[in-house]
Chains A and B, each alone.
Chain A
Amino acid sequence: MRTLEQTTQEVLDLASKHFNVPASSLAPEDDFFKKLGIDSLQTLEMLSRLENHFGIELPDYEVQGVSDFRTLASRIQSRL
């Protein structure tokens, strides 16, 4: 079973890979909208990638108001 730290790192790695941002530039407390430069459609794309990677469903309303990687990871963690 993954720890929250492992989950958070996997979220950062996925974001780095799919949005072409250097992994070294991403931190758990970063605002992913600003850091990745994504809009709502790309957020849905990120949601799909996270769901496929972790094998979970993450309803859109679970990420309402969430903008940092660490909180996003905790939402994922609660569905593992």
Chain B
Amino acid sequence: MKSFNGKALRWEWRDGVIELTLDREPGNEIGTAMLEELEQFVAAFPALIPETAVCIISSNRKHGFSAGADLRELYQSAAQLSEKERLAGVRAFIERIHAVFNAIDAAPFTTIAAVHGVCFGGGFELALTCDIIIADKMARFAFPELRLGLIPGFGGIPRLKRDLGNAFIRDLLLTGRSVNASRGQSAGLVAQLAAEGEAMRIARATAAQIVKFDAVTRAAAKKFIKPIPHEELGREIDLFCELFARPAVMAALKKFAESTDAMPYLP
């Protein structure tokens, strides 16, 4: 399927490059709708891979790449369930997310995240599945999960550990603070900085360069340099689910869900 137009995202293939655009109001929150369409994207890989050199993932939402997991949906669906059902449901959701993110991470074509604005939590974790992050100077990255009594559950910490120094990761995780793209670049998270609004243009120019290279060599080089940390990803799922079982988490989710700010992103 070379093109797709869904409720949460769309993709278009042209000349060896897929442009996957996240476009779900208000901030590309990753809930069941986004997950289902990401699963459709991954299901299309067998047809797409033979003719694809690069995939650029970007956002059409003004305020940023993605605000992370759809916490309102998570709270509303979890609140109606028994504790046992809630925990089983969360584990099932997280396992589906990991399957999709692992597939994107391991895709034989090169992946580029073109990031602007807010790139938080699960959205940050989606960007981390990509080989190259190109971010404009107004992009901000954060793992605010500790504010909810959780750790990032979509594979973020194992992927950050794969790429960056532990001191920076500890700062991000243990303070929940956001960092700008310049800081991200100095830490090794952001490969290329763009002027405000220019991340997509630079991502396309980068894709045009990558398309020139032999597909077999490109895929082999990527597999060699970018192992998937399966064991740690599995442990992350277990720890996330263990923490989610604590009453404080539902209380924090309730507070978030009931906030009147459209997107309450300050600590």
Contacts and interface: CB of A to CB of B under 8 A. Distances in A.
Contacts of B140: 44, 47-48
A44 B178 contact: yes
B137 interface: yes
B179 interface: yes
A51 B180 CA distance: 8
Interface string B104-142: 000000000000011000000000000000000111101
B154 to A, nearest CB: 21
How big is the A interface, by class?
A: 10 to 19
Interface string A56-77: 0101110110000000000000
A61 B182 contact: no
Interface string A24-46: 00000000000000011101110
A60 B142 CA distance: 10
A45 B118 CA distance: 9
Given A40-B266, A41-B263, 12 more contacts: A40-B264, A41-B118, A44-B118, A44-B266, A45-B138, A52-B137, A52-B180, A57-B180, A59-B175, A60-B142, A60-B266, A64-B267
Given A57-B179, A60-B178, A61-B177, A48 B263 contact: no
B265 interface: yes
